[in-house]
């Protein structure tokens, strides 16, 4: 029986969906171990991020209901079973990165969840370590989730602040959770003041971002970045535009770029602008992506949240919250024609939350890696269908040959793949 080469097998497998790969694990033990190999998991994720494939939208509505929406075919949806056994728990998404979601329920439990593999991990709890304040204080909490390519680790940042009336009391605590060590640790305190009682950070260029004030009396908002690699805070310069009459101001990450959404009054109307930073850290690289004007008769302030670019980069997917019809909607915005095309999603109410994520095999509940003995042989372990049984081999080759006929003629370049001892993940945004 003819066999596929090692490189061609990898080229085909990395193009497949997570659902297909999960089904392939049933072919044989060897096939299962191959798909669960950390090298292949990173290879599959790297290809998905590079080609903008395997992208999905996760829609939360009615506080605890979830839908997975196919990014390229939004009418294709499937219901997601939330990770907790208590099915009617309120769940909030704290962040998304490389197919993992950080979520929190109404009991304060935090989980990492991979909706594609249906695996989750409950994070250990961590106490707030500063003493009870002597006076009544307002409490603010910030969460940010992302991937650190230097340590090859996923990190969740939590910052808690207490602020008393008239600044009589202030205390701040910052901690980082590491998936690799499954533990929390204290880091350098955050020296800025939150602008709201709860904020979520967004990842761009391996940096989590949030809006804050330098002092409690300040009216000028600053954009603060937390570098997951160095674990240091720094300021990121904003574009020049008037924020005196600001209604809504938020930070997002889209396609690895930092984005700002600003809604404000101008000449009696409500204006909503979206900016994107083309070159990270360079103020002059801020570019206005789009601008919309609404009548001031709107009872609710509209906001336009950018989610992702289309595959060829000529359109942007937006989540319009509280638009002219007083409902949420997903729309494609054509950057060339400036036209808007609404994306219909069936089975959701008029108000919902939506996040973008990439389907991946990134595992949870990882055990410490075993120390392997050095081999005297110089041969490399390669995938070989002959190691499976005859029936398994036939099934495997049929599946691969079928996908080869569907995938290879698409004018996609398939460079030779060399196995490496370690391969860090590429930079990515909130998905």
**Structural domain boundaries of the chain?**
1-54+392-431
Give the separation between CA 157 and CA 146, rounded to whole angstroms.
9
Give the separation between CA 229 and CA 211, rounded to whole angstroms.
20
The token pair that represents 142 in the structure block? 């910030």
- Mean pLDDT, each 10-residue run in order, the chain (431 residues): 69 88 84 88 93 87 80 78 71 91 90 93 89 74 93 94 74 92 92 75 89 78 90 89 63 84 77 88 90 62 76 84 67 86 74 86 68 44 46 56 52 42 39 48
362 and 351 in contact (C-beta within 8 Å)? Answer: no
Q: What is the pLDDT of residue 420?
A: 40
Q: What are phi and psi of 404, to 5 degrees?
A: -65, -40
Q: What is the pLDDT of residue 279?
A: 93
Give the separation between CA 179 and CA 189, rounded to whole angstroms.
21
Q: What is the pLDDT of residue 33?
A: 86
Q: What is the pLDDT of residue 181?
A: 94
58 and 115 in contact (C-beta within 8 Å)? Answer: yes
Give the separation between CA 412 and CA 38, rounded to whole angstroms.
24
- By the 10 Å C-beta count (0-12 exposed, 13-18 middle, 19+ buried), 322 is classed as middle
Nearest to 401 by CA among 1, 125, 4: 4
Indicate the pTM of the whole model.
0.80
Give the separation between CA 237 and CA 228, rounded to whole angstroms.
19
Contacts of 166 (CB under 8 A, 6+ apart): none
CB atoms within 10 A of CB 285: 14
Place of tokens 């904003």: 238
Give the separation between CA 327 and CA 262, rounded to whole angstroms.
19
């Amino acid at each position: 029986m003819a066999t596929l080469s090692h490189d061609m097998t990898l080229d085909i497998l990395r193009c497949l969906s997570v659902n297909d790969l999960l089904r392939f694990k049933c072919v044989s033990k060897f096939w299962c171990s191959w798909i669960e190999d950390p090298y292949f998991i990173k290879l599959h994720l790297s290809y998905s991020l590079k080609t903008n494939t395997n992208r999905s939208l996760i829609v939360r509505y009615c506080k605890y209901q979830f839908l997975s929406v196919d990014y390229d075919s939004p009418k294709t949806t499937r219901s997601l079973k939330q990770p907790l056994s208590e099915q009617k728990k309120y769940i909030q998404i704290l962040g998304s990165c490389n197919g993992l979601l950080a979520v929190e329920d109404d009991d304060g439990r935090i989980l990492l969840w991979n909706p594609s593999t249906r695996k989750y991990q409950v994070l250990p709890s961590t106490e707030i370590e500063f003493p009870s304040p002597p006076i009544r204080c307002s409490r603010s909490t910030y969460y940010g989730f992302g991937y650190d390519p230097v340590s090859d680790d996923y990190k969740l940042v939590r910052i808690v602040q207490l602020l008393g009336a008239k600044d009589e009391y202030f205390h701040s605590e910052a901690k980082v959770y590491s998936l690799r060590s499954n533990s929390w640790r204290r880091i350098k305190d955050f020296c800025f003041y939150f602008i709201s009682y709860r904020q979520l950070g967004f990842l761009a260029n391996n940096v989590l971002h949030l809006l804050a004030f330098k002092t409690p009396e300040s009216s000028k908002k600053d954009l603060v970045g937390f570098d997951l690699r160095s674990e240091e805070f720094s300021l990121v310069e904003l574009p020049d535009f008037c924020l005196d009459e600001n209604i809504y101001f938020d930070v997002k990450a889209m396609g690895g770029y930092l984005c700002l959404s600003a809604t404000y009054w101008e000449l009696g109307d409500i204006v909503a602008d979206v900016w994107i930073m083309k070159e990270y850290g360079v103020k002059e690289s801020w570019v206005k992506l789009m601008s919309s004007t609404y009548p001031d008769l709107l009872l609710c302030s509209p906001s336009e949240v950018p989610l992702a670019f289309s595959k060829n980069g000529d359109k942007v997917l937006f989540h319009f919250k509280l638009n002219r019809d007083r409902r949420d909607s997903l729309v494609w915005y054509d950057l060339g024609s400036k036209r808007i095309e609404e994306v219909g999603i069936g089975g959701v109410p008029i108000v919902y939350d939506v996040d973008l994520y990439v389907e991946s095999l990134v595992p949870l509940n990882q055990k410490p890696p075993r120390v392997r003995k050095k081999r005297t042989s110089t041969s490399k372990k390669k995938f070989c269908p002959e190691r499976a049984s005859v029936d398994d081999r036939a099934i495997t080759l049929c599946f691969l040959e079928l996908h080869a006929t569907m995938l290879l003629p698409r004018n996609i370049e398939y460079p030779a793949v060399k196995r490496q001892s370690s391969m860090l993940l590429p930079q990515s945004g909130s998905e």
